[in-house]
Amino acid sequence: MSLTPQIGIMEITLYESGTSSIVGRDDVLKLSSNENPLGPPPAAVEAITKAAIEVNRYPSTDHAALRDAIAEVYELEASRIICGVGSDEVLQFVTQAFSGEGDEIIYTEHGFSMYPILAHMAGATPVKLPEVERVVDVDIILEAISEKTKIVFIANPANPTGTLVPDAELVRLADGLPAHVILVLDGAYVEFSEGYDGGKTLAATRPNVLMTRTFSKVYGLGGLRIGWGYGPQEMIDVMTRIRQPFNLSGVQLAAAEAAVRDPDWVRDCAKLNAEQRARLTGAMRQLGLACDDSEANFVLVRCVDKAEADAAEQALLNGGIIVRRPTSYGFPEGLRITVGDAEQTGRVIDALTRWREAG
């Protein structure tokens, strides 16, 4: 090729998203992308309809109304919030603003696949560290920090494992990091984990901690692409310089504001998730399929090997159910199953029970 892409770009492996259809079936149940089984919140749908008639207008560039709403509901400082096209864009802001060629970005063994993609986008080097029993390990991270390290990415709860690093361990990590390293706490699944503050205290009090949140999971707005980050003012001000002035449409802003002002929705969805997650986890173990306790809205089932996982996946497909094979996350023997509502969870359990009985 005579065109020369920027350094790192050709190292990027394209992101794989969950599939959504099965040829010849119209009763497909998609449990491959950790989407909300209850759909979008009705208040957000109403706000979208209202905002639609004004799309001839450019949207707000400072996102003031949405940031104020988030600040109010989460008890944060509005000036320290930055909004993006999904939390993915906020992760991109921090990576692009604070790392480049020669720098290292740390993530872990089963960490979210966007982290190495973002590192390469910035021309930095992604460094993948081992976990211990599918949990991020603070000592392993601290040992790997060097002058070159710029960012440490941790999703907590993690995807696809569903495991959580306890608060005290995160504090120990934040305490141990040198001042030139940013700790990013990706809180995409925070609302499903009871008792964890989602990194709020650390992001509020430390000069080098950023937390990110999304409207894609518990808020049921994955198709609309809205997320946000919270961190020290200085860090947010730097990130804002590379944010496009109109990155979020009026429709996105209106939907997110309506959703964030509907805390009952979050509570009800999280409650349903906790019930069905416990039921699914119990049923899987009953069938002899290993899984860790999940703190998120999915369960990572571990078969004995890839062949058994292939068979389990086929049994689910025969039942019209699509789940995610987290092969690229280091689990060829795994199935990541999004927790659905009661009826959907029943379908998963039935399909796998029939498969076990036939096997």
Ligand X SMILES: *Cc1c(COP(=O)(O)O)cnc(C)c1O
Q: Where along the sequence are the contacts to ligand X (CB under 6 A)?
A: 86-88, 112, 155, 159, 186, 188, 214, 216-217, 222, 227
Amino acid at 242: I
Give 124 or 155: the residue with its C-beta nearer to ligand X.
Answer: 155
The minimum distance between CB 93 and ligand X, in angstroms, equals 12
Give 90 or 351: the residue with its C-beta nearer to ligand X.
Answer: 90
The minimum distance between CB 186 and ligand X, in angstroms, equals 5
Give, in order, the Cα–Cα distances in Å from 10 to each of 85, 113, 148, 161. Answer: 23, 16, 22, 28
Give 94 or 155: the residue with its C-beta nearer to ligand X.
Answer: 155
Give 108 or 159: the residue with its C-beta nearer to ligand X.
Answer: 159
User: Chain-centre distance of CA 202, in angstroms?
Assistant: 19
Contact between residue 141 and residue 93 where contact means Cβ atoms under 8 Å apart: no
Closest chain position to ligand X (CB): 86
Task: Report strand pairing: 182-186 vs 209-214.
Answer: parallel
| Residues paired with residue 182 on neighbouring β-strands, in sequence order | 151
Give 222 or 319: the residue with its C-beta nearer to ligand X.
Answer: 222
Tokens encoding 16: 């794989």
The minimum distance between CB 223 and ligand X, in angstroms, equals 9
The minimum distance between CB 211 and ligand X, in angstroms, equals 12
The minimum distance between CB 34 and ligand X, in angstroms, equals 6
The minimum distance between CB 222 and ligand X, in angstroms, equals 6
The minimum distance between CB 71 and ligand X, in angstroms, equals 19
Q: Cis ω on the peptide bond leading into residue 59 (within 30° of 0)?
A: no
CB atoms within 10 A of CB 109: 16
Give 85 or 283: the residue with its C-beta nearer to ligand X.
Answer: 85
How far apart, in whole angstroms, are the C-alpha atoms of residue 34 and residue 13?
21
Contact between residue 175 and residue 167 where contact means Cβ atoms under 8 Å apart: no
Give 94 or 188: the residue with its C-beta nearer to ligand X.
Answer: 188
Give 15 or 58: the residue with its C-beta nearer to ligand X.
Answer: 15
Give 32 or 159: the residue with its C-beta nearer to ligand X.
Answer: 159
Amino acid at 275: E
Tokens encoding 162: 């569903």
The minimum distance between CB 334 and ligand X, in angstroms, equals 15
What 352-359 contacts at long range (C-beta under 8 Å, 24+ apart), as own/partner pairs, is 352/283, 352/284, 352/287, 352/289, 352/312, 352/315, 352/316, 353/283, 353/287, 354/315, 354/319, 355/311, 355/312, 355/315, 356/287, 356/288, 359/311
Burial of 359: CB neighbours in 10 Å, binned 0-12, 13-18, 19+: exposed
CA 294, 299, 300, 305 torsion-angle sign: positive
The minimum distance between CB 73 and ligand X, in angstroms, equals 18
